[in-house]
Structure 1
Amino acid sequence: MTSTNCIFCMIVAGDIPAQKVLETENVIAFRDIAPKASVHVLVAPKVHVPNVAAAAREIPEILAEMATVAQQVADAECDGEFRWIFNTGPSAGQTVFHVHGHVMNGGSLGWDA
């Protein structure tokens, strides 16, 4: 399932170019166009799901594959260490309502847990 007005669905379809980092049958990883860290890669399922909670309910096996892809990106780009961030809802900073995790590392990320 896809959404015709979703920018990530258009990237998956090849209608909008993206700087792909890694791709599997179910997941795509590409560079953020406005990076907030030296490594900032988005990992998204190819199927349209609005947020991470919906992904956990509807496509848990693909969410697990997203985690594997996030680790592979981090292994290749930042010695395997990374922060994986999901924004859920407009007040949390979500601007594209197609679930995606931000794989980030490098420089100050502005929050240390």
Structure 2
Amino acid sequence: MSDLVGDARTWSPDAQEAVRLLAVSALVEGRDRSEVAGLFRVSVRAVDNWWARWQEGGRDALLSRPRGRRTGEHQVLSEAEQAAVRQAVLEHIPCELGLSGQLWTRGLILIRNALGSGSLVVCE
């Protein structure tokens, strides 16, 4: 691939969406799938996937979707545990709970949650 274009995976979701729509538009106009892949510097497999998505769901199937986990998915702490951590951070400083330091860090919060209310001294 040309250094000028770069890796399409690094493009913004809007740019990726535009390429998908343009590629399918070229297929609708009768261009060959390998020609479209070369034109947009993507694999024939990607073009085939976009075509299948378009045939199944139309234009909406090619639009960008939110990336990453859904809010709340795969959370380590339950709602009650999250509330307890928030309350401890709001009401106490780390040394009052047996932790080193005067300020909360993510590491201290993680250690505090993992080990409970023991007399733990941590240095960061």
For normalisation by structure 2, the TM-score amounts to: 0.24
Larger radius of gyration: 2
Higher fraction of strand: 1
For normalisation by structure 1, the TM-score amounts to: 0.26
Higher RCO (CA < 8 A, seq sep 6+): 1
